[in-house]
Structure 1
Amino acid sequence: MSGFRPEAADLRAADLHASVSDPVLDTMNFLNEVTHRYPEAISFAPGRPYDGFFETADIFSHLRRYLDHLEAGGASPAQVRSALFQYGPTSGQIRELIVDSLRKDEGIHVPPESVVVTVGCQEAMFLAVRALLTGPEDVLLVSSPCYVGITGVAALLDVELSPVEEGEKGFRCSDLEAAILRERARGRRPRAFYVTPDHSNPSGSTIPLETRRELLLLAARHDILILEDSPYRLVSPGTQLPTLKSLDTERRVVHLGSLSKTLFPGARVGYAVADQQVVDSKGRSGLLAAELTKIKSMVTVNTSSISQAVVAGMLLSADGRASELNRETAAYYGDAMSATLAGLAEAFPEDDRAALGVRWNEPSGGFFLALTVPFPADNAALERSAEEYGVIWTPMSYFYPHGGGERVIRLSVSYLTHKEIKDGIDKLARFIRDEAARP
């Protein structure tokens, strides 16, 4: 590379932003490449909803229902046409329906103007991090392992991450407090803490109710905000614990939401609930949501009007209760998780687990679980697994911002049928046993 001489518009990688060379931006590309290279392999990698619940014709009925809703509300034909064909307000045109759904399903009571409708939850993360972390002394605390989306956002925005690692029993507030004090001792300002409290991606862990209350008190005591990302609640069986936002009495929580897992992945509709007050130098105040909207106007301008219309029609079909639309899917995913756990227990009897060094957690919902194995679960092992055994998984090391998880794999149970799960666990068990016996 030292002898490289650019011709015409050729570029050196070193002249591009450092994030494009960050390994975290290659993780999903690598998984997609492996999946396409071995199409016959059973894949526990994709964290996406099961296709069997989608009907193409439903899109048109959802769209029609939203148009009827606009007309019933007094919208003229020209206004209805504009609502579909024009860009629409940057903050979103279905905020009232999202607020109604949050109130009914989650007990979150906020005004519509505190909501920004985004292009998936990924944009909501980007807007929140961009607004809140302002200089090189600011640091974003993250529960680790964490979703690669937040790691990627930090890389793109040159934001320093400070991981707060989960223990054997999950997240502990004492570890977060220690991280806050450690960063302040370095002369840095811990600004916010990103966490997925329910059935997290990638580990599948859930924060207990008492710890949630303790976390909110800690945030107030140390004057930090919490970025709550919790997309798996309504697609999990049983009664869910309260969201951090529903317990939040001091506006410490910025709630980042997604309608992809619960309603329609292809629509790419998410939202941020940002009801914090922002006071300017002249003493005038407004909502943080308004500031996020300013940033969005220079990033995506607005969220697709058609996408918003379709998910709005879905919400209207259940009187705003997304939970009602997900009763069947939540049961399906719960059964998929149970089938996976039962398959692992059958493939690795209790006596064998200790001898092999294999263990796993037992999430109560969501799409993911963590499986500890007795060898480095790296890309080379993944390729052997795919090529020789016909089963694909995700190295957990992808989800540790500063290293970790080298002997853990993530299994996603959401995209497979029960037969595929059984066959996949059988293949995976053979791979793990053979890999453990390698010199």
Structure 2
Amino acid sequence: MTTTPGGGSSLGALPRTALHPSLSAPLLDTMTFLNEVTLRYPQAISFAPGRPYEGDFDVAHVPGFIETYLDHLRERGYSEERVRTALYQYGETAGQIRDVVARMLDIDEDMTVDPASVVVTVGCQEAVLLTLRALFTGPDDVLLVDSPSYVGITGAAALLGIPVVAVPGTPNGPSLEGLDRTVREIEASGRRAKCLYVVPDCSNPTGVSMHRDDRTALLAAAGRHGLLLLEDNPYGVFSSVRRPTLKSLDTDRRVIYLGSFAKTAFPGARVGFVVADQLVEGGEGGGPGLLADELAKVKSMVTVNTSSLSQAAVAGMLLQNGGGLRAANEGAARHYQATMRHLREALARELGAGGPELADVRWNDPDGGFFLTLDVPFPADEAALHVSAEKYGVIWTPMRHFHLDTAGDRQIRLSCSYLTTGQATEGALRLARFIKDQVQG
């Protein structure tokens, strides 16, 4: 406590111990760090951001999207007063475009979804937060994640004080043997594995996709262990191979489906959703209710509701494209696949036959999405990233941010979604020069 000139006292600096412990975790600084690096070196080619390509964005389309949605409401019999209220006022906590979202899932993913099981959220990150808050009741409940894993899930768990345990990953998704072993170890410690978070299509950060047989095997394993699966699917429409979602294969209400319009529509709208059709005892009328209703209760104390204007824009975009977004994103998918191809081809030319000193430089071959992973024979840490950005003009993401241990210390994530094919090729050439110089010392 310090004294002010007027004789009063001010609080002074809050001690770090007065804040939640998760705020001191390096994990929560990841996004800020990457943004700062990008801003510090504006001339560098950045493979860091997992953003959609902006070349097809047109702000002139947004008013038309909103008007299309308002016309949709009028066609449903809404009066002009009710249309005005739908756009200007607070909306339903669970969302006012749930029927439009359910139709999209039917068209794009062959998923039959009751609109009542949908909650429209402020981005998918809120969907993650609501789901974790509703499902985890205490320190003995453990969240499993496919490793390496998206920092949004591990960061949200840290904020909520939820213990996280990694399941070893493979080139085809989580290891089922590793899952069995991890669940047994957790149970032996007196705790309970409650959910497994997984991105089955073109995952962040590895770009890995699960084969159909692996998906059915994972569902069976979840049934054996009494696990819920949190399926996050922001990149599925960009894969060159169309595979069924876990949710579309789910016959036991074991999958909670997390979705986002950030990649398929536009991130500025900040609209995501969750499909939670699991039954919960003690619903209205005495019978079982839906988990979605419980998530809406949590949302009512977090964001109250998702922006009506943003929902209108996203719904209008869907309606203008026949109710789905897969067809509307075919051009974007081709762009991402072409950019990824140019990146891989440039890496192969520059690093593929570089002699024994480059034998440990390897990268995977995703069938779509935004990301690939590259192994290097030196520590890929923040210090190396600054050298790469300042001296070679290329930025990437250290994979250590996506691991709960040190397994990713010699790996980097490359995202080519935000770049043109020419930028991806030039960025690969710069990256190859950096890697060669690091290896040769």
Q: 1:124-273 residue pairs with structure 2 within 5 A?
A: 124-167=127-170, 170-236=173-239, 238-273=240-275
Q: Does 1:333 align with 2:343?
A: no
Cα distance in 2 for residues equivalent to 1:352 and 1:330: 35
Deviation at 1:284, TM superposition (A): 3.2
| Cα-Cα RMSD | 1.4
Give the aligned partner of residue 377 of structure 1.
380
Paired AA for residue 246 in structure 2: L
Paired AA for residue 178 in structure 1: R
Does the 8 A contact of 1:353 with 1:359 survive in 2?
Answer: no
Q: Does 1:275 align with 2:277?
A: yes
Cα distance in 2 for residues equivalent to 1:289 and 1:403: 37
Give the aligned partner of residue 114 of structure 1.
117
Cα distance in 1 for residues equivalent to 2:171 and 2:356: 17
Does the 8 A contact of 2:172 with 2:211 survive in 1?
Answer: no
Deviation at 1:357, TM superposition (A): 1.4
Cα distance in 2 for residues equivalent to 1:27 and 1:128: 23
Does the 8 A contact of 2:134 with 2:295 survive in 1?
Answer: yes
Q: Does 1:78 align with 2:81?
A: yes
Percent sequence identity over aligned pairs: 53
Cα distance in 1 for residues equivalent to 2:354 and 2:421: 26
Provide, for residues 35-63 of structure 1, a one-character-per-residue CA deviation record: whole Å limited to 9, x for no partner.
Answer: 10100000000000011010010001111
Paired AA for residue 173 in structure 1: L
Cα distance in 1 for residues equivalent to 2:181 and 2:424: 40
Does the 8 A contact of 1:259 with 1:268 survive in 2?
Answer: yes
Provide, for residues 277-313 of structure 1, a one-character-per-residue CA deviation record: whole Å limited to 9, x for no partner.
Answer: 0013996310000000000000000000000000000
Cα distance in 1 for residues equivalent to 2:83 and 2:211: 45
Give the aligned partner of residue 5 of structure 2.
none
Helix, strand or coil: the match of 1:57?
helix
Q: Does 1:95 align with 2:98?
A: yes
Deviation at 1:14, TM superposition (A): 1.4
Q: Does 1:318 align with 2:296?
A: no
1:27 to 25, 30, 40: 30
Deviation at 1:351, TM superposition (A): 5.4
Cα distance in 1 for residues equivalent to 2:177 and 2:270: 36
Does the 8 A contact of 2:231 with 2:258 survive in 1?
Answer: yes
Give the aligned partner of residue 3 of structure 1.
none
Helix, strand or coil: the match of 1:364?
coil
Cα distance in 2 for residues equivalent to 1:153 and 1:329: 29
Does the 8 A contact of 1:397 with 1:405 survive in 2?
Answer: yes
Paired AA for residue 252 in structure 2: E
Q: 1:33-52 residue pairs with structure 2 within 5 A?
A: 33-52=36-55
Q: Normalized against structure 1, the TM-score is what?
A: 0.96
Provide, for residues 358-384 of structure 1, a one-character-per-residue CA deviation record: whole Å limited to 9, x for no partner.
Answer: 000000001000000110000000000
Helix, strand or coil: the match of 2:64?
helix
Give the aligned partner of residue 4 of structure 2.
none
Does the 8 A contact of 1:194 with 1:228 survive in 2?
Answer: yes
Does the 8 A contact of 1:235 with 1:261 survive in 2?
Answer: no
Helix, strand or coil: the match of 1:194?
strand
Q: Does 1:428 align with 2:431?
A: yes
Deviation at 1:234, TM superposition (A): 1.1
Paired AA for residue 434 in structure 1: D
Does the 8 A contact of 2:241 with 2:367 survive in 1?
Answer: no
Helix, strand or coil: the match of 1:164?
strand
Cα distance in 2 for residues equivalent to 1:9 and 1:368: 44
Provide, for residues 75-107 of structure 1, a one-character-per-residue CA deviation record: whole Å limited to 9, x for no partner.
Answer: 111111011101100000000000000011101
Residues paired across the two proteins, number: 432
Label 1:119 to 1:213 Cα distance change in 2 as closer, same or farther (>3 A): same
Q: What 5-or-longer segments of structure 1 have no aligned partner?
A: 1-5
The range that moved more, 392-401 or 273-282, is 273-282
